[in-house]
Amino acid sequence: MRKKTTARSPIKPAPKKRVKFVLEKGESSKGPDENVEVTEITWGVRGKRSSSSAQVRGPVVDVVDEQPVQTTTRKWKDIDAYGSPSGLQRLIGQLNEKQKDDIKEINFGGLLTLKLTQFYQGMVPFLLGAYHPKSRRFHVDDNKECFLTVYDVYDVFMLPCDTGKKVIVATNKKSDKHHMEYVQLWRDKFGLAPNKELSGEIVASEILKLKDGRDDFKRYFVLFVMGTVLAPKAYKNVDLHLVPSVKDVGEIGTFDWCAYVLEELGDAVSKWRSKDLKNVGGCMLFLQIVYFHRLTWQSLKASSEIPLIQHWDTKHLRTRVEEERKAAEEMKGRYGLGEWDTTTYPIGRERILVAKKEKNPIIELSQSGHGRTVTYRVPDDLLTNEEIRQQAKNSVR
């Protein structure tokens, strides 16, 4: 028997977007778009997965048009986020004053205020759902969002920021051959076999041996903090592709490390979503601290003195998270209950821009009907022509 066929309509329906949502338990309402197909629901706390046709509400994880989407159910206990600050906090506690001075010299001194020994893994699904790496939008709820910039990274850690100089990362491109040769020198230095990564524990032990600080100490410290906390790509390993940026110690503080941290976070979150990985890299600690300072909890506003990382220890953080979770369960809500601060942050932006102006003698360039006008910032200790002439006369006498 022949199968019946029907003529295709010349009018095509609007294409559906495949969307993944991250939700908290007990949350549901209409979806954001009638032409959206829900392909995955992920719970921020333990809960059952709803059907793919469910109408849900929550921060959109990603929107992918005409591409296959992984439909594996993810729970918070299935996600392991790299970047625990425990190793760095222990290391800082063992440094002497000379070593700390060297860290300040390369403009990484803000990290010395770190007190946290861990970040709360239970918040990771929520943070992943709230952060949109392409637009850098941190969306907690309606009317509770912000767009993260390098200045927000500066607020949290006070790393070198907005310097106009990109961090050098070695690649396998032919044009990068000289950088890869330098990477190999480091691999040989530590006796690493092919495809073997350098452990952060080994680097930490080398750091502690260098009691007098100096150049190698500074190099090791930057590689350690980037690989284990600020831009982790693997569990407690150091990324040797960064060694070109620490080759010249005098240049370390001139790179835009805040931009690097933000870029690596975006890459890590995008990679985690697209490949449905169990582990996620990037600085989840940064997102946590941003959230805690933007959200006013129980009418108590966290201090805005930077670096913001200094205001949190493990006990304080755990108390805040547990209180929010308890309130969310009682109100059948989720994280984000409170007032969102839209005016305070970022704090460091003005400070950085002022510093850049002071270094740059040209502070204003304008144009009018009378031509172009250039305004220069003259150092306070610069002598005038009259003062120079007077000193010259005095010297001759």
pLDDT per residue as tens digits for the range 65-98: 223 333 334 444 568 889 999 999 999 999 999 9
Q: pLDDT (tens digit, 9 = 90+) per residue, 338-354?
A: 889 999 999 999 989 88
Domain residue ranges of the chain, discontinuous segments joined by +: 17-70, 80-350, 360-396
- The reported pLDDT for the residue numbered 397 is 53
State yes or no: cis peptide before 379, omega within 30 of 0.
no
- The reported pLDDT for the residue numbered 162 is 94
**Which structure tokens are listed for 108?**
């990484």
Give 159's contacts (C-beta < 8 A, 6+ positions apart).
107, 108, 110, 111, 153, 230, 257, 258, 261
- The reported pLDDT for the residue numbered 336 is 83
- The reported pLDDT for the residue numbered 279 is 86
- The reported pLDDT for the residue numbered 301 is 80
- 163 band by pLDDT with thresholds 50, 70 and 90: very high
> Could you give phi then psi for residue 163, rounded to 5 degrees?
-90, -15
Please state the rounded mean pLDDT for residues 371-383: 50
- The reported pLDDT for the residue numbered 375 is 47
Q: Is the pLDDT of residue 386 over 70?
A: no
Q: Is the pLDDT of residue 128 over 50?
A: yes
Greater pLDDT, 228 or 374 = 228
Greater pLDDT, 110 or 72 = 110
**Which structure tokens are listed for 42?**
């992920």
- The reported pLDDT for the residue numbered 370 is 46
Q: Is the pLDDT of residue 305 over 60?
A: yes
Please state the rounded mean pLDDT for residues 126-137: 93
Q: Is the pLDDT of residue 129 over 70?
A: yes
CB atoms within 10 A of CB 76: 17
Range with the poorest average pLDDT among 239-248, 286-295, 388-397: 388-397
Q: pLDDT (tens digit, 9 = 90+) per residue, 24-64?
A: 333 333 333 333 333 333 333 333 333 333 333 333 333 33
- The reported pLDDT for the residue numbered 273 is 85
- The reported pLDDT for the residue numbered 242 is 97
Q: pLDDT (tens digit, 9 = 90+) per residue, 270-285?
A: 998 888 778 899 999 9
pTM beyond 0.75: the answer is no
